[in-house]
Chains A and B, each alone.
Chain A
Amino acid sequence: MSNVFAQRRQKLLSMKALRGSSPAPAHTEETCPACGGTFRRRDLVMARYVCPLCGHHYPIGAYYRLSLVLDKGTFRELDASLTSNDPLSFPGYATKLDSARRRTGMNEGVVTATGRIGGQKVAIGALDSRFFMGSMSAALGDKVTRLVEYAEKYKLPLILFSASGGARMQEGILSLMQMAKTSAALEHFSQKGGLYISVLTHPTTGGVTASFASLGDIMLAEPGALIGFAGPRVIEQTIGEKLPEGFQRAEYLLEHGFLDAIVPRTQLRDTLLQLLKLHGKGGSDRAK
Chain B
Amino acid sequence: MRKVFQIAFVIITVLALSLLVFATSEYLLPSGSLRSLAAFYLSAAPDPLHPYTSATPAVVGAILWDYRGIDTFYETVVLYLALAAGVVSISPLRPREVPGRRAGLSPMVKAAIRVVAPVVVAAGLAMGLHGSENPGGGFHGGATIAIAPLAVVAAFSTTFLLGRKVSMQILLFLMSLGLTGIGVTALSTFVAGLLAGANSYVLQNLPKPNAPMGFPGKTGWMGVDSLLLFDVFELLTVACGFTLAFMELMLQSDKGGETR
Report whether chain A binds chain B.
no
